[in-house]
Amino acid sequence: MGATDSRELDDLLALALVPGLGPRLTTSLLQRFGSAAAIRRLSAEQLRSVPHIGDKLSRQFQEALARVDVERERALLQKHGVRLVRRDTPEYPARLATVNDAPHLLFLRGEVLASDSRAVAIVGSRGMTSYGRRVTENIARGLAKAGYTIVSGLARGVDGVAHQAALEAGGRTIAVLAGGLSRIYPPEHADLAEAVAASGALMTETPMQMEPQAGMFPARNRLISALSLGVIVVEANERSGALITARHALEQNREVFAVPGPVDAAASAGCLGLIRAGAKLVRHADDVMEDLHGIGISVAPGPAAKPESAPAAAPPPEMNDLERSVWDALDGGPVFVDQMVLSLAVGVPELTRALMGMELKRIIRRLPGNRYERR
């Protein structure tokens, strides 16, 4: 790496060290000011000129940029064998690079290979049942033996079992963490993390010493789904974070799979809801491979925008009354969820279920800002 490249990487690292400065705001700043080096020199007044950065944020960002310690972070990177990967370099995971809110900088330990574009995410409950363990092991082992990389979040429960089963099958696995790579979480998975790094990669978008906080896990989940051809939810209750990963998968045009469970088991309520809404039912690895056959040979660009002159689409025939009302509400273009709640006089939980079902059926798609449009 040349001196210029090293300086550019340090400037991007400085931006990554600023709390609250995520990929979307970083993109806006880079588009406005041209480089990370220029952003580091901005005044609070200049920062305030960027959309979505008001008085408070501009002051916070400017103060944080003035005190970030890049050298200290560099020392931690070296100590823990972690390297930085820029989004505009060949080493950056190609599938992840296709989503709009991909991190500009990844913290990576291990190796990401071209073959990892054939990856499948397996997620689910931290408090899995013996059934969930058995199914996770069987699916992860079968996919790993078939050459698929297993992606998950290193969490307790389904995540950890999926990583371990892939390793035992001699396959590759990638763990995406919410916190920094110098603070493996949960701590009892430190040995598992070492094994994952040796046979795949540990990955995060957060600085080395960042402790994982509750709000960081949904953001982490979008990376898990983005790296994958599809997401398999093994066990999930109705409020499980695994369902957030499934929603991210829908937004990113990835496949969503769900493992059925007992109809009266709370641990399977989320999975059964996904299947009812249109997710593909999975019994074993062969089901997944059948649906993914031919996908992942190359990384395709995201779906093209619908031309303004395109004729109005006929409503799909399989919609229920609420779905048809949503379809009609989207006739003029993207609509915010809160606007639909008011115009359709429907409760948020009921509307949310309908929207997820329509996403799974590929009738509509979710846009940034919690808006929806017809496909």
CATH number at residue 363: 1.10.10
pLDDT number for residue 365: 83
In a domain, 309, yes or no: no
Q: How far apart are CA 92 and CA 106, in angstroms?
A: 8
Q: How far apart are CA 164 and CA 205, in angstroms?
A: 23
**Quick one: 133 and 43 in the same domain?**
no
DSSP-derived 3-state class of residue 28: helix
**Quick one: 255 and 327 in the same domain?**
no
- 3-state secondary structure string across 116-155: HHCEEEEECCCCCCHHHHHHHHHHHHHHHHCCCEEEECCC
**Quick one: 216 and 360 in the same domain?**
no
Q: How far apart are CA 325 and CA 323, in angstroms?
A: 5
β-pair type (83-86, 105-110): antiparallel
**Quick one: 234 and 361 in the same domain?**
no
pLDDT number for residue 294: 62
pLDDT number for residue 317: 67
**Quick one: 139 and 211 in the same domain?**
yes
**Quick one: 214 and 265 in the same domain?**
yes
pTM of the entire predicted model: 0.80
Q: Which residues contact 193 (CB under 8 A, 6 or more apart)?
A: 154, 175, 184, 202
Q: How far apart are CA 250 and CA 234, in angstroms?
A: 17
In a domain, 83, yes or no: no
Give the structural domain span for 17. Answer: 3-68
**Quick one: 25 and 119 in the same domain?**
no
Q: How far apart are CA 102 and CA 86, in angstroms?
A: 11
* Assigned token pair, 146: 């078939």
**Quick one: 151 and 220 in the same domain?**
yes
**Quick one: 143 and 266 in the same domain?**
yes
**Quick one: 46 and 122 in the same domain?**
no
In a domain, 86, yes or no: no
- Taking 50 as the pLDDT cut, the residues of the chain under it are 297-312
In a domain, 28, yes or no: yes
Beta bridge partners of 175: 152, 202
Alpha helices in the chain (DSSP H): 3-16, 23-33, 36-40, 44-47, 55-67, 70-79, 130-145, 158-168, 190-198, 216-226, 242-251, 269-277, 285-292, 321-329, 337-344, 348-360
In a domain, 333, yes or no: yes
**Domains held by the chain: number:** 3
**Quick one: 64 and 100 in the same domain?**
no
Note whether 64 and 19 are within 8 A (CB).
yes
DSSP-derived 3-state class of residue 226: helix
DSSP-derived 3-state class of residue 85: strand
> Tens of pLDDT along 294-320?
665 444 443 333 333 344 456 676 788
